[in-house]
Amino acid sequence: MNKILILGGDGYLGWPTTMHLSSIGYDVTSIDNFSKRKIEIENSIRPLFRIETMQNRVRAWNRIAKKKIKFCYGDLLNHRFVYEIIRSIKPDAIIHYGEQPSAPYSMAGREQAVFTQNNNIIGTLNLLFAVKKYSPDSHIIKLGTMGVYGTPNIDIEEGFLKVKHKNRTDIMHFPFKPQSYYHLSKAHDSLNLSFACRVWGLKVTDLNQGVVYGTDTKETRISEELNTSFHYDHLFGTVINRFCVEAVCGKPLSVYGKGSQIRTFLNIEDTLKCISIAIKNPPKKAQYLVRNQFTEIFNIKELAILVQESSNKIGIKTNINFIQNPRHEMQNHYYNPQNKSFIKLGLKPKKINQKFIISVLEKINNYKERIDIGTIDPEIKWDQNH
């Protein structure tokens, strides 16, 4: 049985991943420092569905599924903790979700930007040093973001670009053009991970993930005790999830700008499939591997129309509002990213459609009384002075 260590196991993706890998036979240990829950409290936001403490969720899973997940509270900024957990477990694979995940939060001010970059970059550095010292054969699977690429006027490859300059060629990192301090932290991570592979001989898969949507996975559906942290607010709520909540509570769908911005997307259940595929297809020693982790491409207006049409089909009349874009991003742009590697390895994507959106709307409607409309509209502007 392979030993898996999951960093950030309390999160929207971390908790379903923890259960999923346990369910298919891995020996799973999960850690978290609950920093996201602290940010939620500080900003008066909460997930739509009631979620138990991590400790209670682990106990519930171990009881219901008759599997054994181990949980440890700890902070990646504490290098002694990181060293000890890596030394004691010597995991075959490390799934690294353990970072501050919100672009808007990172742009709220100096304090939030510094926290995001310090937490994300230094935590990952501590992990790299711990793996080098105590478990150099561990496969690090790091959650990155498609946002590191920005919206270049050329096709986006999977991590690398063949460059010809003055009659010479080389393979270079695909140029980074992040749009927030959060995305910048992911770009710094990627360079640090690549360096550790090149110089220390570590093994890393960097997963540049698109925007994730969805309320449930196979494991969360077993019991409400196993819910994950579905967000719709202006800090942590991803766009499809936000639109669905707005539709249910009768609020016009809030499209930033013209809605012509194009992004990549995937269902939360496809995230779990991609993680499993990555575990089974590790890089070689000293290899830094990049996979673009998404299944579909849409512009924001297309998604708003899909949610609107799905809502209307079940009798929820929904309007669309185009509001001032709080972000600094191109409205109209070329966008053609590649995602061939996961498809070649057998990923069968779960595509978004009206039937799926309706199922999400119906679940959200069951929790309608918990929606806090006041947390939805954007409060943070990229260009505001701090």
Is 217 in the active site? Answer: no
CATH classification of the domain holding 60: 3.40.50.720
Q: Rounded to whole angstroms, how far apart are CA atoms 135 and 87?
A: 7
pLDDT of 1 above 80 = no
Asked if residues 186 and 173 have their Cβ atoms less than 8 Å apart, the reply is: no
pLDDT of 184 above 70 = yes
Per the structure, the complete domain to which residue 25 belongs is given by: 3-375
- For the segment 85-101, the average pLDDT, to the nearest whole number, is 98
- pLDDT, residue 222, reads 97
385 domain residue, yes or no: no
pLDDT of 385 above 80 = no
- For the segment 181-187, the average pLDDT, to the nearest whole number, is 98
- pLDDT, residue 227, reads 97
- For the segment 42-53, the average pLDDT, to the nearest whole number, is 96
Q: Residue 300 CB: number of other CB atoms within 10 A?
A: 24
284 domain residue, yes or no: yes
Strands 203-209 and 288-293, by their bridges, are parallel
328 domain residue, yes or no: yes
- pLDDT, residue 21, reads 98
pTM above 0.95, yes or no: yes
- For the segment 147-156, the average pLDDT, to the nearest whole number, is 97
36, exposed or middle or buried, with CB in 10 Å at 0-12, 13-18, 19+?
Answer: buried
pLDDT interval class at 225 (50, 70, 90): very high
Catalytic residue among 12, 105, 182, 213: 182
- pLDDT, residue 49, reads 96
- For the segment 150-169, the average pLDDT, to the nearest whole number, is 97
Q: Rounded to whole angstroms, how far apart are CA atoms 171 and 168?
A: 11
- For the segment 258-267, the average pLDDT, to the nearest whole number, is 98
- pLDDT, residue 353, reads 96
- For residue 259, the one-letter residue type is G
- For the segment 157-171, the average pLDDT, to the nearest whole number, is 97
- pLDDT, residue 89, reads 98
Give how many domains the chain has, as a whole number.
Answer: 1
Is 350 in the active site? Answer: no
- pLDDT, residue 386, reads 57
Catalytic residue among 29, 36, 149, 186: 186
Asked if residues 228 and 51 have their Cβ atoms less than 8 Å apart, the reply is: yes
CA angle 281, 26, 274 (to 5 degrees): 40
382 domain residue, yes or no: no
325 domain residue, yes or no: yes
Strands 3-7 and 93-96, by their bridges, are parallel
Catalytic residue among 17, 116, 145, 151: 145
Q: What is the pLDDT of residues 313-322, one digit of tens each?
A: 999 999 999 9
pLDDT of 305 above 70 = yes
60 domain residue, yes or no: yes
Mean pLDDT score across all residues of the chain: 97
Is 334 in the active site? Answer: no
Q: What is the pLDDT of residues 100-144, one digit of tens each?
A: 999 999 999 999 999 999 999 999 999 999 999 999 999 999 999
